[in-house]
Structure 1
Amino acid sequence: MLHLIPARQTRPDKDVIFALNAEATRRKQAGESVVNATIGSLMNDDGSLSILSTVTKVLREVPAREWAAYAPIPGTPQFNAAVIEDTFAGHIELKLAATAVATPGGTGALRHALMNYLQSGQKLLTPSFYWGPYQTLCEEHERGLETFRMFNDAGQLDAAALDAKLTEQLKSQGRALIFLNDPCNNPTGYSMTRDEWRQVVDVLLKHSASPVTLLVDMAYWLYAGAGDMRGFMHELKPLLGRVGLLFAWSGSKSYTHYGLRVGALIACEAEEKDRNATQAALAYACRGTWSNCVHGGMSAVTKLLTDQSLKSACDAERDVFKKLLQDRVSAFNAVAQPKGLEYPRYEGGFFVTVFHDNAEAQAEKMKSKGVYVVPQKGALRVALCSTAASDVPRLVDALAS
Structure 2
Amino acid sequence: MLSNLSQQPEDKILALMAQYRADPRDTKVDLGVGVYKDASGHTPIMRAVKAAEKRLWEEEQTKSYVALAGDPGFSDAMVSLVLGDAVARDAVAAAATPGGTGAVRQAFELIRMANPKARIFVPNPTWPNHLSILKYLGMETVTYRYFDSATGAVDFAGMQEDLAGLTAGDVVLLHGCCHNPTGANLTLPEWQAVIAVLNDKGAMPMIDIAYQGFGDGLDADAAATRLVAKSCPETLIAASCSKNFGIYRERTGILMAVSQGQTAVAQDNLNFLNRQNFSFPPDHGARLVTMILNDDALRADWQAELEEVRNGMLGLRESLADELRKLSGSDRFGFVAQHRGMFSRLGATPEQVAHMREHHGIYMVGDSRINIAGLNVKSVPILAKAMIDAGV
Question: TM (normalized to structure 2)?
Answer: 0.88
Partner residue of 2:288 out of 287, 293, 300: 300
- Indicate conservation of the 8 Å contact 1:67/1:294, yes or no: no
Question: Which residue in 2 is equivalent to 1:250?
Answer: 240
Structure 2, unaligned runs of 5 or more: none
Considering only aligned residues, what root-mean-square deviation do their CA atoms show, in Å? 2.5
Question: Which residue in 2 is equivalent to 1:399?
Answer: 387
How many Å apart are 1:248 and its aligned residue? 1.3
- Indicate conservation of the 8 Å contact 1:17/1:38, yes or no: yes
Distance in 2, matches of 1:348 and 1:337, equals 19
Question: Which residue in 1 is equivalent to 2:21?
Answer: 25
The residue type equivalent to 1:69 in the other structure is S
- Number of residue pairs matched by the alignment: 379
Distance in 1, matches of 2:153 and 2:42, equals 35
Question: Which residue in 1 is equivalent to 2:210?
Answer: 219
Distance in 2, matches of 1:315 and 1:26, equals 37
Distance in 1, matches of 2:166 and 2:227, equals 24
Structure 1, unaligned runs of 5 or more: none
- Indicate conservation of the 8 Å contact 2:207/2:225, yes or no: no
Partner residue of 1:165 out of 159, 162, 165: 162
Distance in 2, matches of 1:333 and 1:96, equals 45
The residue type equivalent to 1:11 in the other structure is Q
From the superposition, tell whether residues 198 and 49 of structure 1 become closer, same or farther in structure 2 (CA, over 3 Å): same
Distance in 2, matches of 1:282 and 1:3, equals 35
Partner residue of 2:75 out of 66, 77, 80: 80
- Please state whether the residue corresponding to 1:375 is helix, strand or coil: coil
Summarize the alignment of residues 364-383 of structure 1 with structure 2, pairs less than 5 Å apart. Answer: 364-368=354-358, 369-376=360-367, 380-383=368-371
Distance in 2, matches of 1:31 and 1:382, equals 19
Distance in 1, matches of 2:49 and 2:258, equals 29
- Indicate conservation of the 8 Å contact 1:66/1:299, yes or no: no
Summarize the alignment of residues 135-150 of structure 1 with structure 2, pairs less than 5 Å apart. Answer: 135-150=131-146
- Indicate conservation of the 8 Å contact 1:124/1:145, yes or no: yes
Distance in 2, matches of 1:234 and 1:121, equals 28
How many Å apart are 1:158 and its aligned residue? 4.2
Distance in 2, matches of 1:75 and 1:192, equals 32
Distance in 2, matches of 1:260 and 1:238, equals 31
- Indicate conservation of the 8 Å contact 1:67/1:296, yes or no: no
The residue type equivalent to 2:110 in the other structure is N
From the superposition, tell whether residues 390 and 318 of structure 1 become closer, same or farther in structure 2 (CA, over 3 Å): same
Question: Which residue in 2 is equivalent to 1:229?
Answer: 221
From the superposition, tell whether residues 214 and 98 of structure 1 become closer, same or farther in structure 2 (CA, over 3 Å): same
- The superposition leaves residues 348-385 of structure 1 with CA deviations (integer Å, 9 ceiling, x where unpaired) of 310101123xx322221111121111013xxx101111
Distance in 2, matches of 1:154 and 1:352, equals 12
Distance in 1, matches of 2:137 and 2:342, equals 28
- Please state whether the residue corresponding to 1:255 is helix, strand or coil: coil
Query: Share of identical aligned residues, percent?
Result: 23
The residue type equivalent to 2:355 in the other structure is K
How many Å apart are 1:396 and its aligned residue? 2.1
Distance in 2, matches of 1:42 and 1:194, equals 27
